[in-house]
Structure 1
Amino acid sequence: MNSTKALPLFLEITKSQNKILTISELTRRIRGSLEMEFFNIWVVGEISNLKRPTSGHVYLTLKDSDAQLQAVIFKLVANNIKFELKDGMQIIAFGSVTVYEARGQYQLIVEHIEPKGIGALQLAFLQLKEKLEKEGLFDPAHKKPLPLLPRKIAIVTSVTGAAIRDILNVINRRFARVEILVYPVKVQGEGAALEIAQAIKDLNTLPDIDVMIIGRGGGSLEDLWAFNEEVVARSIYASKIPIISAVGHEIDVTISDLVADKRALTPTEAGELVVPRYEQLKDSIEKIKSRLIQVLYNKILLIKSHLQGIRNSFPLKKPFDRILRLQQRIDEIVQRLFSAGKHIAELEWERLNGLTNRLENI
């Protein structure tokens, strides 16, 4: 007897009219529907279960008080995130929903991510600033003094920007005799930070660079970002050559400014800091020269006075009187020794006679 119950009529009809789907086929259909419906969307949530495997991809869960969503950031996107992702961070993500078929799990493929309430670059700046400050890269004790009068100055910047013109004009106007080496680099965009860092390393291999200026003109936070990269900061810190950072305008403060041995508010000020004005230098030398002459003159007067005192002293006026007094003293000492010796001899003679008399009476 067959125990299988007959299907209801409507199920029999649908079964005969529709193809029976495999799990893979159903999952692919769901995936297609989700990708069409939830394409290029923005979501807000809190990061949890953050994972960074060796593949370079980033896996995380986005959640709010009522639900959660799995998300993945593939390596190429993850490498371009300026700030550090952390569990508990509120973020806004842009991407598309898809299905990870192996698990039948829907997830968000993140193409862009930014912190909620603060710009991504600003957060990245604050995070790196805190990290490097803890490591001591801003320590004033590590900062090297600038040379008073450098013979050779290296400038790391773009050769097409206004910054290089401003620096060269100031240096040539103040002290045209100094030698200048310009190391051209990109100062913004992809690869700029690596070029700047490499320039600093290369210049440190040269034996005759006295001081270095790195910088550029003003711009947005994005434009100046190369000077906020960790690779540039560490190259500045490792440099044996004193470095002046001259990035943007007075209101622009970069990580490079904080690590460098000296910060210039503008590229123009960097030129003023690196060399003295010729007229000022000449005036300073004349003042030093006058002070040295006065010190030497006073020293000569002091020595002259001391020699005069020696010359007027009694021993130098009558040197033989000193010798005669010493001879007289020696004679007195000899006489005393002779008298003392004679007295001792007489006492010993009396003692010897006494002993002789005793022996004779025995």
Structure 2
Amino acid sequence: MINDRERWCTVSQLTTQIKQTIEVASGLQNVWLRAEISNFKRHSRGHMYFTLKDEKSRISAVMFAGKNQFLRFEPENGMKVLIKGRVSVYEPFGQYQLYVNDMEPDGIGQLYIQYEQLKQKLEKEGLFAEERKKPLPFFPKEIAVITSPTGAAIRDIITTLKRRFPIVKITLFPVLVQGKDAPFSIVSALNRVEKMSGFDVVIVGRGGGSIEELWAFNEEVVAWKIASLSIPTISAVGHETDFTISDFIADVRAATPTAAAELAVPVLSELDKEVSQLFSRLDRAVREKLSREQEKLNRLGRSYAFRYPSRLLEQKEQELDRLLERMQKALRYKREGYKERLAQLHERLIRQHPSHVLSTEKKNTAQLHDATNAAMTRYLREKTNHYRHLLQKLELLNPLNIIQRGYAAVYTEEKELVKSIKQVEDNDKLALQVEDGTIHAKVTTVSEVTFFADPQNKNNEGRL
């Protein structure tokens, strides 16, 4: 049985057979599933891969980009969803999985998911930032109202505006406030308002309703148009507890259409009352000011100067004379001081004048020249005396002077001075240098006996 090769098949063949079996099962080709998303991953090509699970089981799922591009929300881990799709086999892994054709949130509803995701997106882009919101004018002259012409909202807005500020001009731009065409109707009205210009404030909104009925004010196209307006905008959508994307985008959010009208204009009667109060305060302040100034004028009129102006003039004349004397004295003092200062500067200038400096330097040079000559004379005299002293010593040591006293200098034939008997021998020829010439002699005898002149020998005779 096991050797029956005709019954064998490959893994691929088996997987294909399983896939074909599942795909022909009608109950697996139109599956409705309630589950929770986990392991969600969006591929770079746009496909979504995730796992659907409940308390006991899980199944792999894929939703291709061609299907998920129509989703109105962003799937994420932990989200409970309602799935419509078909079951098939992914042959490379031999794994069955769910191919999702449609998906919507389960529980809180798809519209709320879309609302939260768009809110987060626009907030990240800075459309909710307070620094970009424009202030409302205090005295608007003309207001544009964008709402349904038949709803209660327009009646409330007009009634409130006329009651509070009857001089304001109101222009209604009728629009659809619910349904699939409502967003484009609202955007078109906003474009008309911007082109017409001249409006100080725009009120856009409608009365209360369900999230589906208010949905036109949650559309991204409406949000971006409100954000781009150069006119301050008040959003008045629904009741006090209702919040739409338009409420976050607009410069001011009103809880109701009536509240929007109250925010747009002041109360004229209150302004009249306030103006009257201001006029009264101004009149009282002016009267008090006039009273104070009149009293001051009366005081001045009763003063000594006004009663006796000639005496005051005499007093001022004397004071003027005294001040004039002080001024002249101060001027003299200043002048003397400046003259003294000028003299000092002139003296310094003379001392530092080039001719004076040159004369001084000439004197200094002459003194230095005299001092140098004196020093050189002293130095020359000292050196002359020293030279004479050395010359005297040299004269004493000069052998010629010794020869003049009767002595002779003895030289060998090699002209060496004979200082010892060891330098000569018998028959050596010698030269004796005396005062007036040279004596040539010959050694006959050499003896160690020292020859001294005999004082009894008057002729000082002797021999070698």
TM-score, length-scaled by structure 1: 0.71
- Displacement of 1:310 after TM fit? 5.8
User: Which residue is 1:97 aligned to?
Assistant: 86
- Displacement of 1:252 after TM fit? 1.2
CA distance in 2, matches of 1:52, 1:217: 43
Q: Which residue identity lines up with residue 198 of structure 2 in the other structure?
A: D
- Displacement of 1:282 after TM fit? 2.7
Q: Is the 8 A contact 1:154 1:211 kept in 2?
A: yes
User: Which residue is 1:218 aligned to?
Assistant: 208
Q: Is the 8 A contact 2:22 2:28 kept in 1?
A: no
Q: Which residue identity lines up with residue 251 of structure 2 in the other structure?
A: D
Task: Choose which of 251, 262, 281 in structure 1 pairs with 2:271.
Answer: 281
- Displacement of 1:234 after TM fit? 3.8
RMSD after superposition: 4.1
- Displacement of 1:214 after TM fit? 0.9
Structure-to-structure mapping, 1:231-250, within 5 angstroms: 231-250=221-240
Deviation digits for residues 254-280 of structure 1 (CA, Å, limit 9, x no counterpart): 232233332222222222332334433
User: Rg: which structure is higher?
Assistant: 2
CA distance in 2, matches of 1:182, 1:68: 56
Task: Choose which of 127, 145, 165 in structure 2 pairs with 1:175.
Answer: 165
Secondary structure of 2:60 counterpart: strand
- Displacement of 1:157 after TM fit? 1.7
User: Which residue is 1:265 aligned to?
Assistant: 255
User: Which residue is 2:391 aligned to?
Assistant: none
CA distance in 1, matches of 2:300, 2:161: 56
Q: How many residues align?
A: 325
The share of aligned pairs that are identical, in percent, is 33
- Displacement of 1:210 after TM fit? 0.7
**Which 4+ residue blocks in structure 1 deviate beyond 6 angstroms?**
22-25, 100-105, 337-341
CA distance in 1, matches of 2:221, 2:90: 40
Q: Which residue identity lines up with residue 247 of structure 2 in the other structure?
A: D
Say if 1:38 and 1:300 are closer, same or farther in 2 by CA, change over 3 A: farther
Q: Is the 8 A contact 1:99 1:107 kept in 2?
A: yes
Task: Choose which of 27, 42, 59 in structure 1 pairs with 2:48.
Answer: 59
Structure-to-structure mapping, 1:1-362, within 5 angstroms: 29-30=20-21, 32-34=23-25, 36-51=27-42, 58-64=47-53, 66-72=57-63, 75=66, 78-81=69-72, 83-86=73-76, 88-97=77-86, 99=88, 106-114=97-105, 116-133=106-123, 136-197=126-187, 199-305=189-295, 318=309, 320-321=313-314, 323-333=316-326, 336=329
CA distance in 2, matches of 1:137, 1:306: 62
Stretch of structure 1 that moved more, 251-260 or 137-146:
137-146
Say if 1:340 and 1:97 are closer, same or farther in 2 by CA, change over 3 A: closer
Stretch of structure 1 that moved more, 63-72 or 150-159:
63-72
- Displacement of 1:215 after TM fit? 0.5
Deviation digits for residues 59-85 of structure 1 (CA, Å, limit 9, x no counterpart): 22223375332221655764341x332
User: Which residue is 2:367 aligned to?
Assistant: none
Say if 1:251 and 1:7 are closer, same or farther in 2 by CA, change over 3 A: same
Structure scoring higher RCO (CA < 8 A, sep ≥ 6) equals 1
- Displacement of 1:222 after TM fit? 1.5
Q: Is the 8 A contact 1:58 1:78 kept in 2?
A: no
Say if 1:202 and 1:338 are closer, same or farther in 2 by CA, change over 3 A: closer
Stretch of structure 1 that moved more, 155-164 or 64-73:
64-73
Q: Is the 8 A contact 2:37 2:51 kept in 1?
A: yes
CA distance in 2, matches of 1:338, 1:195: 91
Runs (5+) with no aligned partner, structure 1: 13-21, 345-362
Q: Which residue identity lines up with residue 231 of structure 2 in the other structure?
A: I
- Displacement of 1:140 after TM fit? 4.3
- Displacement of 1:219 after TM fit? 1.0
CA distance in 2, matches of 1:155, 1:263: 15
